[in-house]
Each structure stands twice: as C-alpha cells, then as structure tokens.
Amino acid sequence: GENVEQHPSTLSVQEGDSAVIKCTYSDSASNYFPWYKQELGKRPQLIIDIRSNVGEKKDQRIAVTLNKTAKHFSLHITETQPEDSAVYFCAAVRSGSARQLTFGSGTQLTVLP
C-alpha cells in the first residue's frame, strides 16, 4: 500500500516569512495529493490539492509543487499570518481506485507574531 512521510513534524516561523512542508510517497500510481489544515479541536479542511498532470498549483498565499519522478510534493505558504498556525497534513491516493487516502503524520506550524 501507499506510505506517506511528512517533514518536519514541527515548524515555527516569524509572521511574514514563508513556510515549506515536504512529503514523499511510495506508490508511483498515486495521482491525487491533497493538503489538509486542522486547527486545534477542529475538523481537517482541504486547503489545496494537486493532481499528477500538473507540477504546480497556486491559490493566493499557498502553493503546492509535485515532482512525480522523485515522488515528493511540497506545500508552500508565503507571507505567513498567525491564523496560519495549525497542523497540516499531506495525503496521497490513486483516485478512482479501491484504495484509500493515506495521510502523512502532520506538521504543527506555529507562526510567531
């Protein structure tokens, strides 16, 4: 099955700086890579996703890049704000398959004011 590794487990940045979270996956057939944000005591919410037919996707201050050859993908948050503080999870799956989404172990991002 799929194995997703996520680094770092914790990340502290100053407000206004950028944050980068990296994930690697094992199954070369995976083609859908979402990122979820989970605030303390709240539900995980999808913030951005990318499919394997593109290498980069951007939505305002967040972007995701995908390197299919190396089997890794990254989340980039620019101009970080205190409200970006949360746990971020990456995930991977081959959509349309019988497999389930496999999540990384999460990154606790803290944006310091």
Partner 1 sequence: EAGVVQSPRYKIIEKKQPVAFWCNPISGHNTLYWYLQNLGQGPELLIRYENEEAVDDSQLPKDRFSAERLKGVDSTLKIQPAELGDSAVYLCASSLGSGRANTGELFFGEGSRLTVL
Question: What is the contact surface with partner 1 in residues (CB under 8 A)?
Answer: 6, 32, 34, 36, 42-46, 49, 89, 91, 93, 95-98, 100-101, 103-106, 108
Phi, psi of 82 (to 5 degrees): -55, -30
In the complex with partner 1, which residue's Cβ is closer, 68 or 78?
Answer: 68
User: Minimal distance in Å, beta carbon 16 to partner 1?
Assistant: 27
User: To the nearest whole angstrom, how small is the minimum distance from the Cβ of residue 15 to partner 1?
Assistant: 24
Token pair 């999808």: residue? 46
What does the alpha-carbon distance between residue 103 and residue 113 come to, in Å, rounded to a whole number? 29
- Kindly tell me which of 35 and 111 has the beta carbon lying closer to partner 1: 35
18 versus 45: smaller Cβ distance to partner 1: 45
The Cα–Cα gap between 25 and 71 comes to: 6
Cα angle at 19 between 13 and 21, to 5 degrees? 125
Least distance to partner 1 from the beta carbon of 105, Å? 5
**DSSP symbol at 93:** B
**Min dist. Cβ of residue 89 to partner 1 (A):** 5
How many other CB atoms sit within 10 Å of the CB of residue 86? 21
